Structure 1
Amino acid sequence: MAQCTQSSPPRKGLGRRLLDLWQTRYTRPQPGARQAVAHLTPAVVVTGGSHGIGLAIARRFAKAGQTVALVARNPGPLQEAAAAIERDFGAKAFAIDLDVTADNAPFELDARLAQHALYTDVLVNCAGVGLSGNFDGQDAGEIEQLLNLNMTALTRLMRHALPGMRARARGGVLNVASLGGLTPGPYQAAYYASKAYVISLSEAVGYETRGSGVRLSVLAPGPVDTEFHPAMGTEHAFYRQLILPLSAEQAASAAYRGYVLGCRLIVPGLLNMLFAVALRILPHTLMLPLVGWLLKPREERNWSVTNDNEQ
């Protein structure tokens, strides 16, 4: 696990230039690739960017002076979030209302970005959905929705964006998973399994793209203080009482720092890092009962959340 512990990434000086050179150690831009987008502005594209972790990550990139494009389904909150970013940081922020689970979403996203003279330089996949309760009592349609958003849409967007990034030898992908992706999660079985997929995919593709100029990181936070957990009906589960949540801003700062430093797996918070190590090394025969006890809902019903962003 490449976890970052430094307090802040290097500024745009010698250290940052050396980091960028290291990222491109095996490659150079393909002829004409950067010229093809020279008339466009590079943008950090954040799915699930209207609130929660997604919005906090967008704000952190905007604070660093980068143009951001917020993507989610509901135009109202998107417009408000983009306006707040421009007001607070003086950075350009654009709102793109789009259902990322649509089959043509990657091409529609390209077209909508082009309307604003933008292209995807950094892709942040934060859109996600959670589901809690007994697996055999959950609605089959809601499980399909979870798989489509958490896995299929993320994979499709990532696969679409990477070839151009590699040709330009710059850019990157930051996927948002969960600490739960490191273990099976009874009573949140499909959700935890989807996050295991995101972590595995990100780490594997991150290895494939090493030295290509493309950063590829995955954020795996523990509980974060957003609307995600209450909407999923897990506020009375023991893990919500025992594990102190991070703020969305703390998770976003760790995500930005780890992405800049080129870390593949980013686990924010010292306690969460210790949990991550334990989940990696302890056998399932010990961890599974403990995780099940922590996650078990204290109310006899199934819950789902269909928010546009993670955690």
Structure 2
Amino acid sequence: MAHPLIHLADAWIGRSARPEADALAAVAGLSPAVVVTGGSRGIGRAVAARFARLGRDVLLIAREPAPLEAAAAEIAREAGVRAVPLALDVTAADAVARLDAGLAEAKLYADVLVNNAGVGLAGPFADASPEAMERLIALNIAAASRLMHHALPPMLARGRGGILNVGSLGGLVPGPYQAAYYASKAYLVSLSEAVAHEVSGRGVRIAIVAPGPVNTRFHQSMHADRALYRAIVPALSADAAAASAVRGYMLGRRVIVPGVLATLGALAVKVLPHALTVPIVGALLGIGQNPGNPGRAKP
């Protein structure tokens, strides 16, 4: 990673930052950490490992303790940093309070928030169960927004920090047969870009990474592995997607699309009309779907 470019990005991002003494005093004696939701596997784990290789302590969040603890132990061993596991459902009413308590117990504070946890939903919109729809809204939209809204004010007060939201290339275009999932990622893209503009120059990075297909358990978990796009669109590894995400975040980019083909796809959906792109996406997503099956939390 080109350190001079990162230093330039730091200077530009913090050009109007005015750190508040009280905010700095509140974290005195604590270590800055990268908080990663959905951090036990897949993109989340890979992003945490990438930050750890940069010497950053990480706090990993997921619902299942065993894989979470294993991921934290491996990252700590490989990178020589602290990697703290916190078993937590981020959709729970007390999730923010429990996150704060977990950070305090570990003598950490959230310097970077990576909103990675998410759920997929494949099949016709009308066939989705109410429970699956509510779970998607709660995790992909409400929990991500709540964590971002909680973490951002202290970062602004300190004049440093950042939020990296993990979206999807699908957030750039409507997606028939994954309609609610694509719409939830469109929300996250819009939120990230808008907030990035609002806080411009105040020392806080706001970025969204929008990967295309990635080789994780995510597509299989929502029964979309037989869709046409899985057969014809090359998938990145989780580590390749994470490397692009962390590099773009450090360089101050606001929208990060990993991979050459995904970048070309992002350009195409920006310039082509929806009358053309929506049927194409529908054809790619609709074949072989098992309607109404919710995915699990994004790995």
Instruction: Give the TM-score taking structure 2 as reference length.
Output: 0.97
CA distance in 1, matches of 2:97, 2:202: 24
Partner of 1:5: none
Q: Does 1:92 align with 2:78?
A: no
- Distance verdict in 2 for CA 1:65–1:37, change over 3 Å: same
- Distance verdict in 2 for CA 1:73–1:170, change over 3 Å: same
CA distance in 1, matches of 2:222, 2:207: 26
Q: CA deviation at 1:303?
A: 2.1
**Which one of 151, 157, 179 corresponds to residue 167 of structure 1?**
157
What secondary structure, in the 3-state scheme, does the structure 1 residue paired with 2:21 have? coil
Partner of 1:40: 30
**Which one of 16, 21, 26 corresponds to residue 26 of structure 1?**
16
**Which one of 33, 41, 45 corresponds to residue 55 of structure 1?**
45
- Distance verdict in 2 for CA 1:25–1:138, change over 3 Å: same
Between stretches 187-196 and 289-298, larger displacement belongs to 289-298
Alignment of 1:137-152 (within 5 A): 137-152=127-142
**Which one of 251, 255, 267 corresponds to residue 257 of structure 2?**
267
Alignment: residue pair count: 299
CA distance in 1, matches of 2:133, 2:9: 41
Q: CA deviation at 1:308?
A: 4.3
Partner AA of 2:100 in structure 1:
D
Q: CA deviation at 1:16?
A: 3.2
Q: CA deviation at 1:280?
A: 1.1
Contact 1:43 1:66 survives alignment (8 Å): yes
Partner of 1:3: none
**Which one of 130, 144, 158 corresponds to residue 148 of structure 2?**
158
Contact 2:218 2:298 survives alignment (8 Å): no
Q: CA deviation at 1:301?
A: 3.7
Q: Does 1:214 align with 2:214?
A: no
Residues 77-111 of structure 1, C-alpha deviations (whole Å, 9 max, x = no match):
11000000011111110000011001221122011
Partner of 1:4: none
CA distance in 1, matches of 2:268, 2:5: 33
Identity of aligned residues (%): 54
**Which one of 158, 175, 178 corresponds to residue 185 of structure 1?**
175
Partner of 2:54: 64
What secondary structure, in the 3-state scheme, does the structure 1 residue paired with 2:92 have? coil
Partner AA of 1:307 in structure 2:
A
Residues 90-134 of structure 1, C-alpha deviations (whole Å, 9 max, x = no match):
111000001100122112201111000011000000000001001
Q: Give structure 1 stretches of 5+ with no counterpart.
A: 1-7
Residues 142-184 of structure 1, C-alpha deviations (whole Å, 9 max, x = no match):
1000000000000000000000000000000000000000011
Partner AA of 1:57 in structure 2:
V
Partner AA of 1:179 in structure 2:
L
Partner of 2:228: 238
Partner AA of 1:216 in structure 2:
I
Contact 1:72 1:308 survives alignment (8 Å): no
Residues 200-244 of structure 1, C-alpha deviations (whole Å, 9 max, x = no match):
000000111111100000000000000011121111111111110
Contact 2:128 2:291 survives alignment (8 Å): no
Partner AA of 1:275 in structure 2:
G
Partner AA of 2:201 in structure 1:
G
Q: Does 1:126 align with 2:97?
A: no
CA distance in 1, matches of 2:199, 2:223: 38
CA distance in 1, matches of 2:276, 2:171: 17
